């Protein structure tokens, strides 16, 4: 089980690092594109295509890590004002809803990725790319987000930042 957890962690952190590398690469492509155009040269049409792909992939690759690090957006006003008992129940409901939404998106994403793969769908831009190479990230990313939210339930943690509220299982962060 420990080996499986290490592999999962490596995938999660690898995806986050890849998202970070893509952000830097996207920034470099944009700067190079602007500089070339201002110097009167024609820039590569691939810059625009890769920027669009990266804008899709960066959130997918980084989201599971953001959930683990409790870096997602939340509104504490309502939750902090509730009595402790109601707060815990609401936190459990929120985490269960997050798991449900993530699993639903993973399910439909898997269907789309399989349809793209078996239908031999192509994304035609400045070059042809199999569309499944883009959509295959949906089930992986949303499935991992569901696992990360499930970890909050199992560990009795709050999905919110440290010190905000008592956790779903009563642990204070």
3-57 pLDDT per residue, tens: 999 999 999 999 999 999 999 999 999 999 999 999 999 888 888 889 999 999 9
**DSSP alpha helices (H): ranges in 1-83?**
2-38, 45-68, 76-81
Does the pLDDT of residue 105 top 70, yes or no? yes
Q: How far apart are CA 138 and CA 59, in angstroms?
A: 10
What does each C-alpha distance from 26 to 14, 22, 84, 99, 106 come to in angstroms? 18, 6, 45, 31, 26
Q: Decide: residue 102, CB within 10 A, 0-12 exposed, 13-18 middle, 19+ buried.
A: buried
The band of 165, judged by pLDDT with boundaries at 50, 70 and 90, is very low
| pTM exceeding the 0.75 threshold for the entire prediction | yes
What does each C-alpha distance from 146 to 25, 59, 91, 107 come to in angstroms? 29, 15, 15, 11
């Amino acid at each position: 089980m420990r080996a499986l957890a290490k592999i999962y962690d490596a995938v999660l952190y690898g995806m986050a690092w890849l998202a970070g590398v893509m952000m830097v690469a996207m920034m470099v492509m944009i700067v190079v594109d602007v500089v070339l155009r201002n110097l009167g040269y024609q820039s590569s049409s691939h810059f625009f295509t890769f920027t669009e792909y990266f804008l899709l992939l960066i959130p997918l690759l980084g989201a599971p890590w953001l959930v683990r690090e409790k870096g997602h957006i939340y509104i504490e006003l309502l939750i902090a004002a509730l009595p402790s008992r109601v707060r815990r129940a609401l936190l459990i409901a929120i985490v269960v809803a997050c798991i449900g939404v993530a699993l639903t998106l993973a399910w439909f994403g898997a269907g789309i990725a399989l349809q793209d793969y078996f239908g031999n769908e192509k994304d035609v831009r400045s070059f042809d790319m199999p569309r499944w190479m883009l959509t295959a990230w949906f089930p992986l990313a949303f499935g991992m987000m569901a696992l990360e939210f499930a970890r909050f339930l199992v560990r009795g943690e709050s999905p919110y930042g440290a010190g905000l509220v008592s956790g779903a299982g009563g642990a204070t962060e």
